[in-house]
């Protein structure tokens, strides 16, 4: 739960949205700085391109060879990771990603945790320029040898993408680092939010931190901090089928329609690029087990390659980087109980104001929070931002109980 808001006995005007904003401010240290990675070398995408047919094609390791490589390099108790080991699967993934030579500037491709590099080589063979972010030193020698043979098409960095800008400040060693330093060293420049996608990121969401990672990413996207300082960064991530169902759930699907559903659908265009059974992927488990996460309420038989492209118009209308974290907390509170009436939630924030607000927005007064569309949540938020009634309202203490124990 989140921290307690000021009681109604305090002096001054108490806005429901300002109150949420106070709690949101406590969450802003989600991402804080780290030391640098490597000295600047060049700006990616600036070298002349070659057509993929004009260069020698890299040999792709067979699945058994990749499996042997992973097992040889696995530590005694490594964090669970999955890899693409089959060349045919790598080619299918590449076809879905649409990464390769194109006219004009093309996005930088960041591949997270390439491991044996089967997908890496597939992308390189197609003419893409790739930055490989690898957090396990055991895989670095092979990747760096490949880097040295390609004259600028591949850049290898000792880095854990999912540990960029961790909570807390101060000195820290790679593979954790500042996103600012990483992007600076790679020559990636900030572009306007409405510009084309400057960077495509490819990888697997960490299985044990999948939900937390989705929350962290959505928070920094709405605040345009961390990687999103540089523009509309496109994520192409393998996620579990159950989390994909949550991301794309529709109103009325009360088992899966959650705050994450509304927030991601509001912020991004979400596309399913590919579905693959868990058994198609290699793990670094010493037992070679599949380690499939359990799911009782939602199907979870596949890994889903999902493209999440931020909307150009996300920061238009009443949505800004200043109040967007307030929108996140409003949605979380509304969908904490998906069968509760929306008007009751509104009246708890500003007694007697809910009916008028819903009539203005042409939303039925008897609607439950789990039946409201993402675009309606955004309209509701923007209307509350401009409402005199809500600017003078206060929230009950139960809304945000303890911001120190927030659990994404």
**What residues are designated binding site for S-adenosyl-L-methionine?**
84, 134, 160
Element (H, E) at 156: strand 154-158
- CB half-sphere exposure, 145, CA atoms < 13 A: 7
Distances (CA, A) of 79 to 135, 239, 300, 326: 11, 17, 21, 34
Contact 114, 205 (CB under 8 A): no
DSSP designation for 93: H
Tell the residue number behind the tokens 């911001």, with chain if given.
Answer: 403
Contact 4, 397 (CB under 8 A): yes
Q: Which two tokens stand for residue 73?
A: 């390099």
Tell the residue number behind the tokens 């996005």, with chain if given.
Answer: 107
Q: Which two tokens stand for residue 349?
A: 């924030």
DSSP 187-224: TPPP--TTSPP-EEEEEE--GGGHHHHHHHHHHHHHHT
Angle at 318 between CA 316 and CA 322, to 5 degrees: 95
DSSP H helix total and E strand total for the chain: 14, 9
Tally of CB atoms within 10 A around 264: 22
Q: Which two tokens stand for residue 65?
A: 């060879």
What is the rounded distance in angstroms from the CA atom of residue 398 to the CA atom of residue 396? 5
Q: Please give the annotated binding residues, written as ranges.
A: 84, 134, 160
Helix axes 118-125, 87-97, angle to 10 degrees: 50
Write a three-state SS string for 232-257: CCEEEEEEEHHHHHHHCCCCCCCCCC
Q: Which two tokens stand for residue 61?
A: 């390791």
């Amino acid at each position: 739960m989140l921290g307690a808001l000021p009681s109604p006995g305090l002096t001054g005007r108490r806005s429901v949205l300002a109150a949420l904003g106070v709690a949101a401010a406590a969450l802003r240290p989600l991402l804080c700085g780290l030391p640098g990675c490597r000295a600047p070398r060049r700006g990616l995408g600036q070298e002349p391109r070659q057509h993929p047919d004009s260069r020698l094609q890299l040999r792709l390791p067979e699945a058994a060879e990749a499996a042997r490589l992973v097992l040889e390099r696995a530590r005694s108790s490594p964090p669970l990771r999955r890899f693409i080991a089959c060349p045919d699967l790598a080619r299918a993934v590449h076809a879905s990603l649409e990464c390769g030579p194109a006219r004009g500037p093309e996005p930088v491709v960041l591949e997270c945790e390439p491991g044996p590099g089967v997908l890496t080589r597939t992308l390189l063979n197609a003419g893409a320029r790739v930055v490989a972010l690898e957090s396990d030193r055991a895989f670095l020698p092979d990747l760096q040898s490949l880097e040295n043979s390609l004259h600028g098409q591949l850049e290898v960095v000792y880095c854990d993408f999912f540990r960029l800008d961790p909570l807390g400040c101060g000195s820290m060693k790679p593979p954790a680092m500042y996103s600012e330093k990483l992007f600076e060293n790679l020559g990636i420049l900030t572009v306007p939010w409405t510009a084309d996608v400057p960077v495509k990121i490819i990888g697997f969401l960490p299985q044990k931190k999948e939900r937390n990672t989705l929350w962290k990413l959505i928070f920094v996207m709405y605040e345009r901090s961390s990687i999103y300082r540089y523009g509309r960064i496109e994520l192409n991530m393998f996620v579990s089928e159950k989390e994909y169902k949550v991301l794309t759930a529709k109103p009325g699907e009360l088992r899966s329609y959650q705050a994450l559903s509304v927030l991601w659908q509001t912020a991004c265009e979400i596309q399913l690029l590919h579905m693959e059974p868990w058994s198609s992927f290699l793990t670094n488990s010493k037992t070679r087990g599949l380690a499939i996460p359990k799911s009782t309420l939602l199907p979870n038989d596949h890994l889903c390659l999902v493209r999440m492209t931020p909307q150009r118009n996300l920061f238009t209308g009443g949505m800004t980087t200043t109040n967007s974290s307030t929108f996140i907390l409003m949605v979380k509170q509304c969908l904490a109980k998906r069968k509760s009436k929306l008007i009751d939630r509104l009246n708890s924030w500003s007694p007697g104001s809910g009916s008028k607000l819903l009539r203005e927005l042409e939303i039925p007064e008897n609607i439950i929070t789990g039946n409201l569309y993402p675009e309606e949540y955004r309209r509701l938020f923007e209307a509350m931002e401009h409402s005199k009634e809500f600017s003078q309202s206060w929230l009950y203490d139960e809304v945000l109980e303890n911001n120190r124990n927030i659990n994404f």
